[in-house]
Structure 1
Amino acid sequence: MTTTAAHYVSLFGTVVGGGWLGKWIRALMGLLAVLVLVACSDGYVVFPTTPEGQRALGDDVEVFVLDATNIGNYTSPARGYRASSLPAGRQWIYHVGPGDILSVIVFNHPELTLPSGPQRSAAESGFQVGSDGTINYPFIGSVQASGRPVDQIRSDISQRLATFIPDPQVEVRIAAFNAQAVVVSGEVETPNRQPLSAVALTLIEAINAAGGFTENADPRIVTVQRGGRVYHVDVQGFLSGGLAQNNPVLRNGDVVSVPRRRAEEAYLLGEVARPDVIDLSLEPITLTQAITRRGGLQQPRADARGVLVFRAAGVLTRVFQLDTSSPTGLLLGTRFVLEPGDVVYVLRSPLQRWNDTIVRLLPTVQAIDTTNSIAN
């Protein structure tokens, strides 16, 4: 047993590394290693849910035996998707701005079209919108372009040219989009500036054009700065939940920021095959999933009746006990979703007295929760 205890301490020291959290985890593992060495002579003892048992643990501790009638009261539902508050309007009309280059063609009047030449593109031979928002066109002079869609510019030029040319047929196109753009930053492969064009640019398209999310990105809390406000967009809700409003069309000046995924962990300790840190940041994980993914209970040393979950609840610490010695208990465990900071501990058989176990574990668990709060 001494070798096993030392193995636990070494394993978790490697997993969590240095820092305050690592030190507290190693301290907790040292305490648990001492507890697993203690043999209990009187076997299984009922969990202290009686008033006397509760008072013995103190006013800041609540204990619960989980069963089919109450498990729904003590577990949060699996994390859902949040609808974005950012307007997701799909209609998009590009408005010309300073720096854009317009190509203006008057059919049957090549003298009114700047010659492009064999080596010049449409952008090089077009009319650039000046800082004052106008272009200068033959015969009619200054034309207001900024803030207008191309249809309005075409209509304006046609009406004014009609004084010189009978029924002019005018075509106006944007040869180069330079005026409007969005910025994508944060946890994407290639943060960049992306010009907007006549085709609507959605949030997920902008992220993909920046190389996509990095492995450390958190797509659930992407932010979009617009008009002096910051909107939170759950992009995962679009990718996995199909929420169309969570893939809004971007507007000029939008700044998209993809945050780094924060550590959200639970800790699986005691008589399990592989004690480990459980990452909760990618998906909801239930108690049964956590134990199963780490090889299940350590047979025959584990007592399936003694699966404990320590959870901070404000100033209180809640301690849950689940009996997984039957299929019913394992099924109940699939309904108990772990939360960040949970400490799952599987007792050794025969069980130690519940009060002694909880009292000895609580100071270290509470210290870990305090450290996590400071770190966050």
Structure 2
Amino acid sequence: MLLVRKSWFDRLRFAGCVAIAAVLGGCNFLPASGPYSTEVRNPQSQDTDGVGYKLVPMTIDVVRVLATTDSEGLIGTFRNDRRPIPNVKIGVGDVVGVSIFEASSGGLFIPAEAASRAGNFVDIPDQSVDPNGFISVPYAGQIKAAGFSPSQVEKEIVDRLRNRAIEPQAVVTVKTQRSNAVTVIGEVETPLRFPLTSAGERILDAVSRGGLAQAKGYDLLVTLQRGNREATISFNRLVREPANNIYLQPDDTIYVFSRPRTFLAFGATGKQGQFNFGNDSISLSEAAAKAEGLLDQQADPQSVFLFRIENRTTLERMGVDVSNIPDKRIPTIYTVNFREPTGYLMSTKVPMRDKDIIYIGNAGSVELTKFLNLVLLGATTAREIADANNLVSTAN
């Protein structure tokens, strides 16, 4: 009997040693909802199948960069292009009116018998700026108008007529502006294209012209396209942060659309799946709370991971070495330690982005329990088979 007990004790001790070794080694045959924490942190795992990622511990310096980057919005993308009110120029297709004044009658435009008329001036018929950018003025010829301000065109006309008319003066007026316009499209009541004025129009001015369709402000996004660049910001934030309501420039495009921003939560969270922001912005701690926090009996608070595709420049500002990855957008995993109080404090300053992923790793004891359950299941099954064989043998 003693030998039997010793044999079972040795087997259990051996199984326990194997289980501990398997857990410490991160054995892959145990069921799990995602990668083991040791695999995420393993440097060899950070360049698998040609897909490299950067593992970045969440420090106060990292949090400062992330918080600043998120707060930049449109002014961050157009940092070097925050021009003031545009100096509106005449463009091809614009309809221009020209009035020419002379100091007295009897000149080039005002006949002598017109002395009694009110004002010594003549109106040139309105004309469109031709495809080459010119307008025509009698006795002055072809005048280059496209790309110049009305005052510059006035000066050119006067210079051309100075030796022919009596102290000539000119007034150039843009009657219909078809160039220097911006376009508003998307989920607006009236998509339109309208010209800019010398008063200066901002993004919200353009949105108000189009009229907003019915949508929650935090789900409504506004994209500014300028040349080969674009940036997107939520409508509520655009209203709340006047610095992002920048002046429009000719040929800008404003795209208004509704799209609930979401994040995903997996692993040892109270609830897994896809969650809406439900606000202009939420922090990492708020996102974890939406997923019902960490499971007390399962989660490893030291293994809270935030997956996202990060801008190369952002990682460089953090001091992360990205020389081995040539891409401008780099897969990144931020690690947060919720075992420390500072982990929670820092997570309140980390803004979530659309399509971010939160993953909570399991505690080591959970993996050990899984393995022991498999061992015990195997032992129980073997014993039941042995008992069944004994019954068969006895029956025979």
TM-score range, shorter chain: 0.5 to 0.7
Following the alignment from structure 2 to structure 1, what is the Cα–Cα distance between the partners of residues 163 and 91? 27
Tell me by how many angstroms 1:151 deviates. 1.0
| Unmatched tracts of structure 1, length 5 or more | 1-47, 65-69, 115-124, 360-376
Q: Residue 246 of structure 2 aligns with which residue?
A: 247
Which deviations, in whole Å up to 9, do the C-alpha atoms of 1:202-257 show, x marking residues without a partner? 444334433358654434xx35242xxx113355686555656x725412x34444
**Kindly tell me: are residues 84 and 297 of structure 1, through their superposed partners in 2, closer, same or farther at Cα, counting changes over 3 Å?**
closer
**Kindly tell me: are residues 232 and 336 of structure 1, through their superposed partners in 2, closer, same or farther at Cα, counting changes over 3 Å?**
closer
Following the alignment from structure 2 to structure 1, what is the Cα–Cα distance between the partners of residues 62 and 370? 20
Aligned counterpart for 2:230 among listed residues 214, 229, 232: 232
Following the alignment from structure 1 to structure 2, what is the Cα–Cα distance between the partners of residues 142 and 319? 68
Tell me by how many angstroms 1:318 deviates. 9.4
Aligned counterpart for 2:358 among listed residues 336, 342, 361: 342
Following the alignment from structure 2 to structure 1, what is the Cα–Cα distance between the partners of residues 129 and 171? 17
Following the alignment from structure 2 to structure 1, what is the Cα–Cα distance between the partners of residues 190 and 159? 46
Following the alignment from structure 1 to structure 2, what is the Cα–Cα distance between the partners of residues 74 and 57? 35
Q: Residue 355 of structure 1 aligns with which residue?
A: 367
Q: Residue 122 of structure 2 aligns with which residue?
A: 112
Which deviations, in whole Å up to 9, do the C-alpha atoms of 1:84-114 show, x marking residues without a partner? 2462222522222232222323346556126
Superposed, 1:255-270 pairs within 5 Å as 255-257=253-255, 261=259, 263-267=261-265
Following the alignment from structure 1 to structure 2, what is the Cα–Cα distance between the partners of residues 147 and 316? 46
- Compare CA radii of gyration and give the structure with the larger one: 2
Q: Residue 54 of structure 1 aligns with which residue?
A: 24
Which deviations, in whole Å up to 9, do the C-alpha atoms of 1:297-355 show, x marking residues without a partner? 99xxx66987675666899999977469xx8886576467667222469x9xxx99421
Query: Secondary structure at the residue paired with 2:59?
Result: helix
Q: Does 1:89 align with 2:59?
A: no
Following the alignment from structure 1 to structure 2, what is the Cα–Cα distance between the partners of residues 142 and 333? 66
Which structure would you say has the larger RCO, counting Cα contacts within 8 Å and 6 or more residues apart?
A: 1
Count of residues paired in the alignment:
279
Superposed, 1:312-351 pairs within 5 Å as 322=338, 334=348, 340-343=356-359
Residue range with higher mean Cα deviation, 176-185 or 274-283? 274-283
Query: Secondary structure at the residue paired with 2:249?
Result: coil
Q: Does 1:137 align with 2:124?
A: no
Tell me by how many angstroms 1:174 deviates. 1.4
Q: Residue 278 of structure 1 aligns with which residue?
A: 275
Following the alignment from structure 2 to structure 1, what is the Cα–Cα distance between the partners of residues 128 and 155? 18
Q: TM-score normalised to the size of structure 1?
A: 0.53
Following the alignment from structure 1 to structure 2, what is the Cα–Cα distance between the partners of residues 179 and 102? 12
| Unmatched tracts of structure 2, length 5 or more | 1-18, 30-34, 41-56, 102-117, 309-329, 372-396
Tell me by how many angstroms 1:161 deviates. 3.3
**Kindly tell me: are residues 98 and 357 of structure 1, through their superposed partners in 2, closer, same or farther at Cα, counting changes over 3 Å?**
farther
Q: Whose helix proportion is higher, 1 or 2?
A: 2
Following the alignment from structure 1 to structure 2, what is the Cα–Cα distance between the partners of residues 164 and 315? 71
Which deviations, in whole Å up to 9, do the C-alpha atoms of 1:25-62 show, x marking residues without a partner? xxxxxxxxxxxxxxxxxxxxxxx9x9874324559522
Matching residue's letter, 1:112: V
Query: Secondary structure at the residue paired with 2:205?
Result: helix
**Kindly tell me: are residues 56 and 184 of structure 1, through their superposed partners in 2, closer, same or farther at Cα, counting changes over 3 Å?**
same
Tell me by how many angstroms 1:154 deviates. 0.9
Following the alignment from structure 1 to structure 2, what is the Cα–Cα distance between the partners of residues 165 and 316? 72
Matching residue's letter, 1:61: Y
Q: Residue 198 of structure 1 aligns with which residue?
A: 198
Percent identity between the two aligned chains: 18
Matching residue's letter, 2:133: G
CA contact 1:311–1:319 (8 Å) conserved in 2: yes
**Kindly tell me: are residues 225 and 92 of structure 1, through their superposed partners in 2, closer, same or farther at Cα, counting changes over 3 Å?**
closer
Following the alignment from structure 1 to structure 2, what is the Cα–Cα distance between the partners of residues 358 and 259? 47
**Kindly tell me: are residues 334 and 84 of structure 1, through their superposed partners in 2, closer, same or farther at Cα, counting changes over 3 Å?**
closer
**Kindly tell me: are residues 312 and 154 of structure 1, through their superposed partners in 2, closer, same or farther at Cα, counting changes over 3 Å?**
closer
CA contact 1:180–1:195 (8 Å) conserved in 2: yes
**Kindly tell me: are residues 158 and 146 of structure 1, through their superposed partners in 2, closer, same or farther at Cα, counting changes over 3 Å?**
same
Following the alignment from structure 1 to structure 2, what is the Cα–Cα distance between the partners of residues 358 and 337? 35
Q: Residue 178 of structure 2 aligns with which residue?
A: 178
